[in-house]
Structure 1
């Protein structure tokens, strides 16, 4: 008797969504009740921005994907039910953004994500 394979995380969809600025593709990777925590200069570790659920996360993804900037998936590592990736972005004026994310998966979809990001100032 074999064991049931757990659903795999779609790293190519992650790349297409990030590099194609496609919020819909990115949102499809999240579980309905997912949580996303963002830590940056304005949302420090003791008070991160927390978004709960696909609707709220989708609002953020639509905003980010709608900006005139380039996005690139630098690295992505999947190990069991955990994914880590680095994303680099650049605005037309040369301002750069770098983010690292660590995610936990449930049935192959993102259940929990913590993103730490920094901008040029």
Structure 2
């Protein structure tokens, strides 16, 4: 019987990368064909925003880094196949968005990012 090799997922690097808006670190943790499912005020559960690839996430990272958004993570948990965390984004005008992210992991990379976000209207 052969042992299954598991590529670890570095949850600490992932959350630190987001908190620093370090796009290179964060994007490297996603598979090239990642599926992102986002539910928010404009995209209800019956019609979530679904995208594939890293480009939408690259845009989010660029926006946060260039617009003075601070992000903190709470309650991160992970094993070899899944991870989850709560992220709070605070905008310069004081409004906040809280997002719960559930991540499916394969070979140490995120292959599916499912997110539910709620926030104050700007």
Whether the TM-score (by the shorter chain) exceeds 0.5 is yes
Query: Does 2:42 match 1:42?
Result: yes
Q: TM-score if structure 1 supplies the norm length?
A: 0.89
In 1: Cα distance, 2:71 partner to 2:114 partner: 18
Q: TM-score if structure 2 supplies the norm length?
A: 0.88
Q: Is the 8 A contact 2:35 2:50 kept in 1?
A: yes
Cα RMSD after superposing both structures = 1.7
Structure 2: gaps spanning 5 or more residues: none
In 2: Cα distance, 1:89 partner to 1:54 partner: 20
In 2: Cα distance, 1:38 partner to 1:67 partner: 21
Judge which range, 105-114 or 66-75, deviates more. 66-75
Q: Counterpart of 1:62?
A: 62
Aligned positions, number: 121
Q: Counterpart of 1:79?
A: 79
Q: Is the 8 A contact 1:90 1:97 kept in 2?
A: yes
